[in-house]
Chain A
């Protein structure tokens, strides 16, 4: 299922520009949409999910225009919003049944689908419990179950691992990667590790624009020669924070820190080059963006 986003801009009242000429073509597989908070990821997800319409540009899903034929697009998609909730007075089974009914699934298929989804997300034992009693992780699993009902060709998940414990997060990532084998999954997140483990391709959004598009290894490669590791004292750490992008800082005791930094030149101290990761690539691109913005205004 191809998703084509052509020159899409979205302006909110007060001339707030959430998206600015975004163009992306997304095919089968798990596609990551990465970016800081406020980059426009959720806005883009909402436009593809037909929850809003772009101010300019066009979005098609499988060749169907999201603005002109939204109901047809909705037949193809499953959506897990950023802050998922369920009707508190319904049980997990009843909630999925309700969503299945809204999606137009008929009796036997709906029941079969619900049971399969409950098993897939590990909620079979809690099927008769009210959603109001669920923990954050259980709710999130219920959210992915409702999104998958009806076997949608396009699955949109917005910040799905936020609030999950590490074990649930790993499980969730694996599930998303698995789902991406035979459908299009768009995973929007600001957690780099989620994209690194689950996505074949990604786009990096910043201030409403696509600033990178490619494979995770290509994004990591953008930081090649610009990632350093160094052990410094507290005073040097403070100076390094001003001159470089500190990716991680681990206290090694005695007021010393082992730093991983991104910057064009080596940081102060006996710094050695390090192999870049996706997170380093992300930080390098964001640093360049910030500098470009500062230079522009």
Chain B
């Protein structure tokens, strides 16, 4: 157990860098900008109906969180399957590791631990600083399923083609597609159902599908890591 924890610590050192931290700052800033864009409307509403005002801010928070935070998961985890190769350490790691898929698995776990720890901080700080009272529950849950799917997609493509850039590009393309033409490319795997819902899509089913597909893709990436020389 202590050895596994020590390994997770080392993987965290390798995986998480300034890029992730910078992205979180940018995401927090973007959320603040989003909230301030409806601030006048929210204040007007707050004078007559505080509940409506709170709901408006939450809707913006959920939408912004669901839009931005999956990208944070991507930034944190895309290197998981190609980190060794990028550093020229692939053969050493693959001959030293007792169970090869354990290497990228630990990295994904570390990346997601950092991502999960970052979500409440990034989403809570801007409203707190702006003096906006809103519930964080939905905001925190909204990005998880799309983040799982995008992470799985990026990892599987990276492992298949041996380059994190292609993985990132594939996930980015899906993200942009859903942003520009909601659900056209992804169908039931539409990414933004919590913040920008499509009328004919059930939220729970959509979230289950996204998480399931993400898990399958992550498992595929781990298998490919073991097989790809």
Which of A87, A94, A104 has the largest count of B CB atoms less than 10 A from its CB?
A87
Bound together, the chains give a CA A107 to CA B3 distance in angstroms of 7
B10: A residues at CB distance < 8 A: 90, 94, 97-98, 101
B229 touches A52 (CB 8 A): yes
B88 touches A106 (CB 8 A): no
A101 touches B3 (CB 8 A): yes
Bound together, the chains give a CA A51 to CA B90 distance in angstroms of 10
Bound together, the chains give a CA A146 to CA B95 distance in angstroms of 11
Chain A 44-81 interface mask (CB, 8 Å, partner B; 1/0)? 00100111100000000000000000010011010101
A90 touches B103 (CB 8 A): no
- Distance between B98 CB and nearest chain A CB, rounded to angstroms: 5
Bound together, the chains give a CA A98 to CA B103 distance in angstroms of 11
A90: B residues at CB distance < 8 A: 10, 13-14
B99: A residues at CB distance < 8 A: 71
A143: B residues at CB distance < 8 A: 92
Given the contacts A107-B2, A107-B3, A102 and B96 also touching, CB distance less than 8 Å:
yes
Bound together, the chains give a CA A102 to CA B13 distance in angstroms of 15
| CB-contacts of B66-115 with A (<8 A) | 87-89, 91-99, 103
Bound together, the chains give a CA A75 to CA B96 distance in angstroms of 8
B199: A residues at CB distance < 8 A: none
The answer, yes or no, to whether B7 is at the interface (CB within 8 Å) is yes
- Distance between B63 CB and nearest chain A CB, rounded to angstroms: 36
The answer, yes or no, to whether A212 is at the interface (CB within 8 Å) is no
A191: B residues at CB distance < 8 A: none
Bound together, the chains give a CA A81 to CA B98 distance in angstroms of 18
Q: Which one of B13, B14, B95 contacts A49 once the chains associate, using CB atoms below 8 Å?
A: B95
For B103, the closest partner residue in chain A by CB is: A102
- Distance between B212 CB and nearest chain A CB, rounded to angstroms: 29
Main secondary structure of the interface of A (DSSP, over half): loop
Bound together, the chains give a CA A34 to CA B28 distance in angstroms of 59
For B14, the closest partner residue in chain A by CB is: A87
Chain A 77-113 interface mask (CB, 8 Å, partner B; 1/0)? 1010101111111100010011101111011000000
A107: B residues at CB distance < 8 A: 2-3, 6
- Distance between A188 CB and nearest chain B CB, rounded to angstroms: 13
B95 touches A83 (CB 8 A): no
For A79, the closest partner residue in chain B by CB is: B95
Given the contacts A51-B94, A99-B92, A102-B98, A88 and B87 also touching, CB distance less than 8 Å:
yes
Given the contacts A88-B87, A94-B13, A71 and B92 also touching, CB distance less than 8 Å:
no
Q: Which one of A49, A94, A102, A103 contacts B91 once the chains associate, using CB atoms below 8 Å?
A: A49
| Chain B interfacial positions (CB closer than 8 Å to A) | 2-3, 6-7, 10, 13-14, 17, 87-89, 91-99, 103, 229
24 contacts between A and B (CB under 8 A): A46-B91, A51-B94, A71-B99, A79-B91, A81-B91, A81-B92, A84-B92, A85-B88, A89-B13, A90-B10, A99-B92, A99-B93, A101-B6, A101-B7, A101-B10, A102-B7, A102-B93, A102-B97, A102-B98, A104-B3, A104-B98, A106-B2, A107-B3, A146-B96
